[in-house]
Chains A and B, each alone.
Chain A
């Protein structure tokens, strides 16, 4: 693989977030992902890159797509994947996060994939284990594999990221996807904007290198890529937004608002979608404009790359 000569490897033990990663590390992961994506398109046979390796999926928060995606990625590479469901484990019995980490560590896995509803919890756990840890989402902090798969999808459609105008729309304040994407897209040279009502935009987010817009019409002007975020409906009672119909009217993406963007603008959504809340149903199904299902395919490839990059031969 020619890319490997340029981007030698992934130099870190863990993948806890995009913040702080150098472009070389990111490009290495994306290029490896590309390789796997190409492989998956042509083959449905398992590889044996991670044969005899053990990987634990530890999800403290409900997840279908991310957990399945990691599980599938591991299996495609021939690794043994273990799923720990929090509902039936000793965590429900009151075990602390650190004790859980030390117990799992004693089982000597090669990698642990963790999702937790508290920001920083994955980092805390990573400090207590010997193997690598992948952050599959920690509260509203980071979700690095999602950002990587978004970039991979953009690259496949747009060929480059540098110089693109990318708008991230909606519930920014609660979104780890937004934060990871802001870091990644900025590192690769895109111009990043965030759009949403002021109640859903965290304070001083400009310092992360984005422009803030409160109106879709202004924010979407001339953008090449639109990343829609899920409105976390459970937040409605907290008065972040008054109602779904109002949210959809002013911040939901439909063909009319899409017209403010570049004619060939690409629409992404990390899922799960709320049709009729942040995205118009018809638009979500338009395969020319929206790459929502392509993102899911790329998710498996990106996770294969991350597993491969982090599980080092002992």
Chain B
């Protein structure tokens, strides 16, 4: 273990043998001590007691550590193009690599928005130059995310868009949403919705209720989320298009989706760590770093989100990484931007569910690897022989304090700053290359 470069983006192929790690395999639903042989980009073998020529392989002892597929984070705002002062593809990829995220799926609300194939190409070109984590794109549903005319969805898909969403905006026009779902159905596309009724949420800052009232802040009713999901479910029932609700935050959303899944609708959903770790009280003292979209909700909502994760209603946990520079956050609450960074805290937050909420380790890992990968139709997020070696090595027990100053992300706006957590990513492999080592 004498590697010096923390971010290894050299092109030289090095072969690795990871000895004696506990391999978490979400496909087989097993955790077993095995060796992993990485040759070039590929996992060549996955079994006990592999012996190799020490000159040709770097042998890394992983005893006491877990090895799992790399994290697939299906909701990341990368900032580039358009907001390079908040985040660049390079800084986002560094943050991802250090957080154990081997595939990031970026939201289309860049500037210009990802609403045509050329922008996807330009992001992918940049990501290839950076060559750390894999970068995938989603495309806008509507031109400029303005909610009026649908984009060239099928062309964007051909150029690599995994799904379509207007990012942090809902498609509020039901007719446009119906057409989008109907159109995407023609080629089995995936429509991802940020569920928030825009008129009900207009000017809103925090969850509507006692807390908002005492703080003197305009509230966003929690049914503004449920309302859009319920409306969309009528359209999904009609069009049979695959539909994914992003970062759900309320009890009602969980209940609606639970029932829709029981009815057999092609719906999936995700949530983000703030919605199962925090509630609206973390906004005390007008803490703008906890100003998120959707807003942090009540304790009852938080508990229901956890129940949704435990019973499988919620398929995926995303980081909802939303970088903002100081100038966008150090402002009066009403003027501050929504969102927090999350790439570097996704793993310990997810592992927290294992420790505190009796979620099994395999299920927890599935929520951030296999499940998003399946929904997006990716090959990654799995650990098996002959697949690309996108893996992480982590210490499940290691306690540490989140310190945003140590983040690799360009922005430090974490709602989890100074929280004590357990579980840390130690090594990240992308396509067989060690791109991060703590």
Contacts and interface: CB of A to CB of B under 8 A. Distances in A.
B187 A241 contact: no
Interface residues of A, number: 16
A198 B240 CA distance: 11
Given A198-B239, A199-B179, A242 B150 contact: yes
B152 interface: yes
Contacts of A245: 152, 155
A145 B175 CA distance: 34
Contacts of A199: 179, 182-183, 186
B184 to A, nearest CB: 8
A91 B327 CA distance: 64
Interface in B161-207: 175-176, 179-180, 182-183, 185-187
Contacts of A64: none
B148 A242 contact: no
B175 to A, nearest CB: 8
B121 interface: no
Given A198-B239, A199-B182, A242 B187 contact: no
A257 interface: no
Contacts of B307: none
Contacts of B182: 197-199
B151 interface: yes
Contact of A198 (B142, B151, B176, B185): B185
B241 to A, nearest CB: 8
A237 interface: yes
A237 B176 CA distance: 11
Given A197-B183, A214-B187, A239 B150 contact: yes
B404 interface: no
Chain B contact patch, size range: 10 to 19
A239 B179 contact: yes
Interface in A184-228: 197-199, 214-215
Interface string B125-153: 00000000000000000100000111111
Contacts of B175: 239
Interface string B239-264: 10000000000000000000000000
B155 A246 contact: yes
Contact of B151 (A214, A242, A249): A242
B148 A214 contact: no
Interface in A238-277: 238-243, 245-246, 249-250
22 contacts: A197-B186, A198-B185, A198-B239, A199-B179, A199-B182, A215-B186, A238-B179, A239-B149, A239-B150, A239-B175, A239-B176, A239-B180, A242-B150, A242-B152, A242-B153, A242-B183, A243-B155, A245-B152, A246-B152, A246-B154, A246-B155, A250-B154
Given A239-B148, A239-B175, 6 more contacts: A198-B183, A215-B186, A239-B176, A242-B155, A243-B155, A246-B152
